[in-house]
Amino acid sequence: MLGYVTLGTNDLQKNAPFYDAIAQEMGVGRMMDFDTFIAWGEWGGGAGIALTKPFDGQPATVGNGVMVAIEAKDPEQVRRLYDIAMTNGGTDEGAPGPRGEADPQGNVFYAGYFRDPDGNKLNAFCMAPAA
């Protein structure tokens, strides 16, 4: 259903390396790259992430209650994505770990939460067997 998600930035060139590193771990790269807009993903693939300077020329702000979730293949990739975020200027919003109770199949929601250098909230998640 989703094609891509766009997040605002006040310094595209400074903050693009954060998403370059996340995209590399996910096995994709930049699919569009302009002076005011960069999109990461794969044409014909799943939903991508874009970073842009706001079109109206006003400063980018963080949406209260807005979060972009990146689906990881397993808990190890969740941890790698979280570590990549921390290494590339992100801030912690909740270390990787299981959240909530196991579903009827014995899986738990496993996630790590972080913010990009502009303050946009993201998480990396997967469903994983309960420990």
| Residue pLDDT, tens place only, 85-100 | 999 999 999 999 999 9
Share of the chain above pLDDT 70, in %: 100
Q: Does residue 131 surpass a pLDDT of 90?
A: no
Taking the model in full, what pTM does it have?
0.93
Average pLDDT, the chain: 95
Q: 89: how many CB neighbours lie within 10 A of its CB?
A: 15
**Alpha carbon 18 to chain centroid distance?**
9
Q: Does residue 1 surpass a pLDDT of 80?
A: no
Give domain limits for the chain.
4-54+62-129
CA quadruple 43, 47, 51, 54: dihedral sign = positive
Per-residue confidence band for 2, with pLDDT thresholds at 50, 70 and 90 = confident
Would you give the DSSP letter of residue 104? T
Per CATH, the number for 4-54+62-129 is 3.10.180.10
CA-closest candidate to residue 25, choices 93, 89, 71 = 71
